Amino acid sequence: MEIALLVIVVVAALAFDFTNGFHDTANAMATSIASGALRPRIAVLISAVLNLLGAFLSIKVASTIASGIVDAGATSASVVFSGLVGAIVWNLITWYLGLPSSSSHALIGGVVGATLVAVGSRAVNVPGIVSDVLVPAAVAPVLAALVAAVATFIAYLAVRKVGAKRSRRGFRYGQIVSASLVSLAHGTNDAQKTMGVITLALIAGGTLAPNSHPPLWVIISAGSAIALGTYFGGWRVIRTVGTRLTEISTPQGFASETCASAVILASSHFGFPLSTTHVCAGGVVGAGIGRRHAQVQWGMAGRMVAGWLVTLPAAGAIGAFVAWSSGLVGGIVGVLVVAAATLAVAAGLYLASRRSAVGPDNINKVSLPQSTTGSEERAA
């Protein structure tokens, strides 16, 4: 029975990893697609490959998730499963709405909410959540926006000195490199979160010793799942980040992506489970601020930030409800009932999304009014 439950948890974790991949593809490739530096299908293919490679670069974030958020010795595989369901459902809801919310915070919120209901507050590492999750969540997007604003201003100084046509070609090639770096950084940070959750479940189930590192099969499967999800492309979220925050040109895309990749790789080095969504979206807003005559859509930015603030408690509430409801039935039967309900929710949201489908063929058709500067640049 315990083995069957662990298998279900691992499958749920990889399903979350898949949703993380297509939900967060926008982080790396939205600006490259919006600026025309990369074709949509080529962009998601590059991102998928580099997400897979990035999963093998570090395990520090995985260790933080496995032991720094909740007490693995006090939880169980069913609690981890409930947390995963909370994260999956929230990811699907925000994907349907086209909101670039944090998969990382959805996962952490779901696990914490389920733990609170099933075990109690004694099993939640509040200081660890504050220092490793909440503080970076507040600092990272602001830092990325400020650095991207300065970098964009410098990039347009180079455009004026070198000439629009020549510099635009150079920034296009540079943006391919910078977008690839974001994808690599995303793999080092986000794929590890699923590794950490699977490791947490294996420790809770007695399969691994406390404080164990993720086994090789966990690293390979988590990297593969996020890469596959990335290739499917979260087109609805890509459209929001690429066309609904600000008009994106190649110098802006290069600046925002370079700054975002630097912040994400630094956080992976120190083991912070940073939200790549927060960092990349902050970089896009900063790129709009740093360019003269560019229009930042503050209404959309405010809606996005509101989604960020709601993510932890919303995913936590879903995880808590799942833990409570599955506990009413009990055992593996309760887990299977929840799994079936989750599949039904996923199917319903997918069918609803087909009424206003967004894909690689129409990803850039809904955009902001073009600024004078952007028009002049393309004309050159």
pLDDT in tens, 76-86: 888 889 999 99
Q: What was the pLDDT predicted at 299?
A: 85
Q: What is the pLDDT of residue 318?
A: 95
pLDDT tens for 221-280 read 989 999 998 888 778 888 887 777 777 778 778 888 888 888 877 777 776 666 778 888
The distance from CA 204 to its chain's CA centroid, rounded to whole angstroms, is: 26
Phi and psi at 70, nearest 5°, equal -130, 165
What is the full DSSP assignment across 230-281?
A: HHH--HHHHHHHHHSSS---HHHHHHHHHHHHHHHHHHHHHT----HHHHHH
Task: Please report, for residues 35, 107, 140, the alpha-carbon distance to residue 149 in angstroms, rounded to integers and kept in the order given.
Answer: 17, 30, 14
Q: Which one, of 21, 77, 113, 51, lies nearest residue 311 by Cα?
A: 113
- Rounded distance between C-alpha atoms, residue 313 and residue 101, angstroms: 13
Could you identify the residue written with the tokens 């058709």? 365
Structure tokens at 322: 């799942």
- Give this prediction's pTM: 0.81
Residues 6+ apart with CB under 8 A from 348: none
Token match 């990272």: residue?
140
**Alpha carbon distance 246, 239 (integer Å):** 11
Query: What span, in angstroms and rounded, lies between the C-alpha atoms of 328 and 308?
Result: 31
> What is the distance between the alpha carbons of residues 14 and 7, in angstroms, rounded to a whole number?
11
- Rounded to whole angstroms, what are the CA distances from 35 to 173, 239, 249, 332? 12, 12, 5, 49
| CA 251/CA 256 separation, integer angstroms | 9
Please spell the DSSP secondary structure of 121-140, one letter per residue: GGGB-HHHHIIIIIHHHHHH
The answer to whether residues 84 and 338 touch, using CB atoms and an 8 Å cutoff, is no
Q: How far is CA 86 from CA 212, 321, 352, 357, in A?
A: 25, 9, 20, 25
Low-confidence ranges of the chain (pLDDT < 70): 1, 26, 58-60, 62-64, 66-67, 161-168, 271-274, 329, 364-380
Helix axes 2-35, 216-232, angle to 10 degrees: 40
Check residue 21 and give its pLDDT: 86
Note the pLDDT of residue 245. Answer: 76
Instruction: List all residues 6 or more positions away from 182 whose beta carbon is below 8 Å from its beta carbon.
Output: 27, 28, 29, 257, 260, 261, 264, 276, 280
pLDDT of residue 63: 67
